[in-house]
Amino acid sequence: MVPSRGSRTKNRGFIIPIGGAVRKRKNPVILEKFVELCGGNKAVIPVIAAATKVKEVGGEYVQLFTNMGAKKVPFVDIQTRSDCRKDEILSQFKDATGIFMTGGNQLRLSTILGGTPVAQLIRKMNADGLHFAGTSAGAAIIPEHMISGGRSGSTPTPGSVSLSPGLGLTNSMVIDQHFRQRNRLGRLLSAVAYNPFLIGIGIDEDTAIFIDHKQTFEVSGSGAVTVVDPSDIQHSSMSTARRGDAVNLVDVKLHILADGATYNLQSKEAIVTDSPEKQ
């Protein structure tokens, strides 16, 4: 699955994966930046909480975005695949300038949304300029290849990561979330070893990347983003290692990027400008 082609006259909308546990009230920089990007007091931001059965999760974001000045924040109540075909559900995306997808269980999210008219509409609208943000499970589902589960730990092993089809807004990366907090380096390295044409992106909690139409992203938030670049891998033992064995990966490039740093997914270049020391 590749991103929708969209209109030649419009830039693709921003894609904003958030690592989970985003600040909602005290200094909610990421969410405020998203609302402003979507048009501020003209923003129309449907909220999808299909990753969880707890409807209050969606309601919380509806209230937050409303308090931040968004013009309209409909809650899109999707619980089943059949919901994704209903006209009253699809109509809630009319005039949207952004879409927000909450956390929960990403496998629940992908099995409900995958291949439905709602998923197709999101892909087309993003290609035509709509901005998409997702936190935790809502971040994991963004790429074509989705990490749906796995084990904690820093060493890659066969079977330490499970992969499933994602939403397909990008096909150049694989995303993991709650990254440092849940010690997920090993499963991200495993995902990249299985798919060495992808860039691995591990996003800490209360941290996001804002990916623009030129395939450059900027880090925002209180944590860091781990970038695993497999472009120059000289050797991988993933195909011969037994389940549970440590995997050899030679010449993997790794970056740790904090707030304000940028990365180009095409040139594989990281740019960091350190702030002057506080006096």
Which residues belong to the active site?
A: 136, 178, 205
List for the chain the helix, strand, coil content (%; round to 5): 25, 25, 50
Helices (H) and strands (E) in the chain, counts: 7, 17
Three-state secondary structure call for residue 79: coil
Phi, psi (degrees; rounded to nearest 5) at 29? -55, -45
**Per-residue burial over 214-246, b = 16 or more CB atoms within 10 Å of its CB, e = otherwise:** ebbbbbbbbbbbbbbbbeeeeebebeebeeeee
Terminal CA-CA length for the chain: 51
Three-state secondary structure call for residue 51: coil
161-165 long-range Cβ contacts below 8 angstroms, 24+ apart: 161/187, 161/188, 161/190, 161/191, 161/194, 163/191, 163/194, 163/195, 164/106, 164/107, 164/110, 165/1, 165/110, 165/114
Three-state secondary structure call for residue 183: coil
Amino acid, res. 73: V
Q: Helices 55-67 & 29-37, crossing angle to 10 degrees?
A: 70
**The total number of residues written for the chain in this structure:** 279
Lookup: tokens for 255: 């970056």
Quickly tell me which residue has 């044409």 as its tokens: 197
